[in-house]
Structure 1
């Protein structure tokens, strides 16, 4: 009722203003519209017209979010999907395990303790290799010209030698301390001079810096599925905003030399070209050799729907008895079957947003998804069917779902169930809450403008900040808003053409130079990690026969630190 009055008063006020303007400009054409005429019929006509236009205005405003949502589903289908909870999971071999090496492939499921009688289901994002091996000590040395980080590693059983573990590489999680972890990441990837392996018998082996790689930006390592047309580049931004610890992983390759180590332990020494900051004090318990990010997303079938073609839409339920425990992230497939003719007839409904409905030069049956709010203003996923027949059907829906807001009630160590008696697991960070964007007309045009950006337009400061803001929708009320901090810290962006020789072919690319005020961040390492993600982000907009190179100039009072990132080949196809 209050909304009706608001729209009515708004329209009435507008009509009165237009009435005054019209009478002033054309006094002879409309004498009865003058306020001095006091014609009751004119007053009633204006009020009735205000009622009609207010109803029309109100109806348009109420339907704009639905139209916007449908259009966004077409141009960026992953944007409206909820972003499920994410955290870091640690794995160790149990003391009774007989195996000396176990492999956990990515997408391995782990479960939490029950919350409201529902076990939250997570899956791993990285492959994990487990050994009876642990980091026992971590020390830093900045003596004379040597700047180093030393890790002492030892097997967990006295009768096991390093050689028997068959180690070819090691993955190291650098922890989730925003200062120490980011600083270590930068020093290992940017200032590393060499790695020296020390055996107990005095042997030394040197490893080149090129054998150290970063994890988190590779193909298939995304936490949020971007889908067929979901723009993987923007999913990277969401990961940086929502789970920055995902990028605190490194891999040390070419460790076959460890197969010659017949002792229980060895030392791994990272020598740097620059001393670590004095306040960077890593501890052995911060690091992990067998960790992986995990995401609360899993395949599950929704409850069947009896479609009699007599309703506008149906709410999709995963479990009607526990609606608070499930949220649909993505609808994968919709099938229908009926037995009215005595034979079971199967049919696949096509998604309206993916345009498969026009195959074979005819209109196929299709479905459309939308969010509708209940009496408590809680949004729920609904599905509408458009069929050329009115035969009653049983609908089966395959989905990717999450456990809604339940993971936010979990504490450290609560995700501890794995289908293996030889492995002990626990989450070592708190699960992030589920995030979801609210759709409106203003957001629609912002998203349309963002995804229509080309490479050159993104290298404009206001445009780039708009792109960041569009994909940081959960951060608006956060006190530690990384996007707002970056917006204040970004001094300027400019670019220039450069040339590089690749496979005996000269390529023309673009060098993007960012000047950033370092004082807005916790440490230089945080700036460096953002640059890793931005360099990958820009490469998605460069054409396949070109490349992108990023340079960040970090300004801290009177000191300027220049960070050059390796160039990345473009991946955008030329139309």
Structure 2
């Protein structure tokens, strides 16, 4: 039920009572027969009738204000499906390598889409499941020390390796140590080593900006031995992580601009981007014969004093990846009857509040007479009169879930209520599917609603991994962000549709004020209505 219905109902009821008082003043004889005197109504039946009319009027007004939700939802399902689905909970995890298993000297890659499972939160019945968005290569390495300094004085010959136009004013120096008796020359790499800024957000955001805007070169070697030949990398010394289409958290449709997904993820979980990757390290690390090496990132500006003093090893982590509470699941088998044209999708009928349908991947029906399996495809995703599919489609409708009485009274769960999805089996004309079915099975991408916010966290062994990989523990170094309702709600759906035709090239040609306002309008589409800090960030953009 839409939470605005009560507001609309009270508005309609007030209007009818005020109009009734005016009518009673102008026509007292007729009003007396209706039992109306001013704003008071003596006849309880008339009062009930007015209240019922107010309820129906409020429902109608909601549909009018939504501006044809059936049309906008269907259109956005095709051109940008992530706008009409809830935003799942997102977090960042750290993987702790297990030195007792596997040959870490060659690097062990934990692939994207690896599943991580949480313990069952206290008082609940369901464990949460997460999926990773990036490949993580495990090495037998740990961070021993990190310093942010001025230009390094222990590299007297550095100027010979740098072009004259590059000025070095500062440096980030990261000291690494191998596990056990391994030396860096024993390792088969690494050519690039992603780091995550895991500290306080104020420090992490300043370090992120400093490294990605001021890095001019990287080099690696043995600490205290930078007075000889150096292996300096000038080509893209620091790379971003998480910006490629294959590193996203949200599903990417083939016809959707990837930049919109990045904006969606940024406003849902900005800390998932706090990565930086020094590149061109392998040549320098291979020359280190001991078990301690130093990576130096040269900067063209001097960091502020407060940042220098607060930068240490606790602000950095290795072997991290963003994760999202989104995973495939087959729903409970649904019996099909002719009396019902719309099926309520429930992932688990014993725990309906623990799962929310994000999207439907496949619908499989079983014919009643022959037990023949039939596949239904998404409506509007295939061509009309599709002979290969024989006119079998499904359409979805999503509506907000109503809070239970206990949740409203006792606040037993966080305020996110989520949504419910209803599925209709139709032909190519969106008429009810005519053939007789026994039951259907739905394969969907689902979330655990707000359960991730209840996971106990110590940063070391908060999650377990299903795959056989040499990991001693998986810690949530950034807590799960609360899920959010769909972006395309009510009038916001039309604003999202309008921006789909937005031409990005003229921004550079527009004047300062017009271009700045166009950019702010685009960014505001991805900000939850209640999120004032992010709104202030967008408003602070110049122009």
TM-score by length of 2: 0.77
Residues 52 and 363 of structure 1, relative CA distance in 2, 3 Å threshold: farther
Residues 68 and 232 of structure 1, relative CA distance in 2, 3 Å threshold? farther
CA deviation string 1:487-532 (max 9, x = no partner): 1x1231xxxxxxxxxxxxxxxxxxxxxxxxxxxxxxxxxxxxxxxx
1: CA distance between counterparts of 2:516 and 2:182?
A: 60
Are residues 1:89 and 2:89 paired? no
Where does structure 2 lack aligned partners over 5 or more consecutive residues? 35-45, 154-167, 405-416, 427-431, 508-513
Paired position in structure 2 for 1:301: 330
Q: Distance in 2 between matches of 1:122 and 1:5?
A: 42
Alignment of 1:112-261 (within 5 A): 112-115=118-121, 116-142=124-150, 146-199=169-222, 203=228, 204-257=230-283, 258-261=285-288
Match of 1:328 among 328, 337, 357: 357
TM alignment of 1:342-381, pairs within 5 A: 343-354=370-381, 356=383, 358-360=385-387, 364-372=391-399, 376=403, 379-381=419-421
13, 24, 40: which is aligned to 2:30? Answer: 40
- C-alpha separation in 2, matches of 1:339 and 1:209: 65
1:490 aligns with 2:513: no
Distance 1:292 1:219 in 2: 15
Q: Distance in 1 between matches of 2:480 and 2:374?
A: 39
Please say if residues 357 and 365 of structure 1, whose CA atoms lie closer than 8 Å, have aligned partners that are also in contact: no
Displacement of 1:316: 0.8
> Is the 1:74–1:354 contact (alpha carbons within 8 Å) kept by the matching residues of 2?
no
Q: Which of residues 423, 428, 433 is equivalent to 2:477?
A: 428
Residues 184-222 of structure 1 deviation map (CA, whole Å, 9 limit, x = unaligned):
222322212322322266653212152431112112111
Post-superposition offset of 1:321: 1.1
Q: Note closer, same or farther for the CA distance 1:132–1:90 as it changes in structure 2 (3 Å cut).
A: same
Q: Structure 1 residues 68 and 95 mapped into 2: Cα distance closer, same or farther (>3 Å)?
A: same
Distance 1:74 1:405, change over 3 A: same
Q: Secondary structure at the match of 1:233?
A: helix
Aligned to 1:104: 110
Q: 1:57 to 1:136 in 2, by over 3 A?
A: same
Please list the CA deviations of residues 551-570 of structure 1 after superposition, one character each: whole Å capped at 9, or x if unmatched: xxxxxxxxxxxxxxxxxxxx
Matched position secondary structure for 1:119:
coil
Answer yes or no: is the 8 Å Cα contact 2:192–2:277 preserved in 1: yes
Taking the aligned partners of 1:297 and 1:37, their CA distance within structure 2 comes to 62
Q: Distance in 2 between matches of 1:182 and 1:240?
A: 13
2:161 corresponds in structure 1 to none
Aligned to 1:275: 302
Aligned to 1:477: 530
Residues in 2 aligned to 1:412 and 1:254: alpha-carbon distance in whole angstroms: 34
With 457-466 and 329-338 compared, the bigger mean Cα shift is at 457-466
Separation in structure 2 between the aligned mates of residue 431 and residue 77 of structure 1, nearest angstrom: 23
The secondary structure found in structure 2 opposite 1:189 is helix
Q: Equivalents in 2 of 1:443, 1:234: separation in Å?
A: 15
> Could you tell me whether the CA contact under 8 Å between 2:217 and 2:237 is conserved in 1?
no
CA distance in 2, matches of 1:353, 1:453: 23
Deviations 1:145-186 (A, max 9, x none): 752111111102124444334322211112243232222222
After superposition, what is the alpha-carbon deviation per residue over 1:123-155, rounded to whole angstroms, capped at 9, x for unaligned? 111111101111101112226875211111110
Which structure has greater strand proportion?
A: 1
Q: 1:217 to 1:375 in 2, by over 3 A?
A: closer
Are 1:392 and 2:396 an aligned pair?
Answer: no
Contact 1:148–1:271 (CA<8 Å) still a contact in 2?
yes
Match of 2:414 in 1: none
| SS of alignment partner, residue 464 of structure 1 | helix
Could you say if the C-alpha distance between residues 243 and 35 of structure 1 is closer, same or farther in structure 2, counting changes exceeding 3 Å? closer
Over aligned residue pairs, what C-alpha RMSD do you find?
3.5
1:444 correspondence with 2:493: yes
Query: 1:317 is matched with which residue: 346, 352, 371?
Result: 346
Q: Secondary structure at the match of 2:200?
A: coil
Shift of 1:331: 0.8
Structure 1 residues not aligned, in runs of 5+: 20-33, 493-575
The DSSP-based 3-state class of the residue aligned with 1:434 is: coil
Q: Distance in 1 between matches of 2:149 and 2:59?
A: 69
Which residue number corresponds to residue 422 of structure 2? 382
CA contact (8 A) 2:73 2:84 kept: yes
User: Secondary structure of the equivalent of 1:184?
Assistant: helix
- The Cα of 1:89 is off from its aligned counterpart by 0.9
Supply the distance in 2 between the matched residues of 1:190 and 1:111 (Cα, whole angstroms).
37
Q: CA shift at 1:368, angstroms?
A: 1.8
Structure 1 residues 329 and 415: CA distance shift in structure 2, 3 A: farther
Contact 1:84 1:295 in 2 (8 A): yes
Tell me the SS of whatever aligns to 1:490. coil
CA deviations 1:231-282 (Å, max 9, x no partner) are 4332221222121122211223333313333221211112211101111132
> Quick one: distance in 1 between partners of 2:401 and 2:132?
34
Number of positions where the alignment pairs a residue of Structure 1 with one of Structure 2: 470
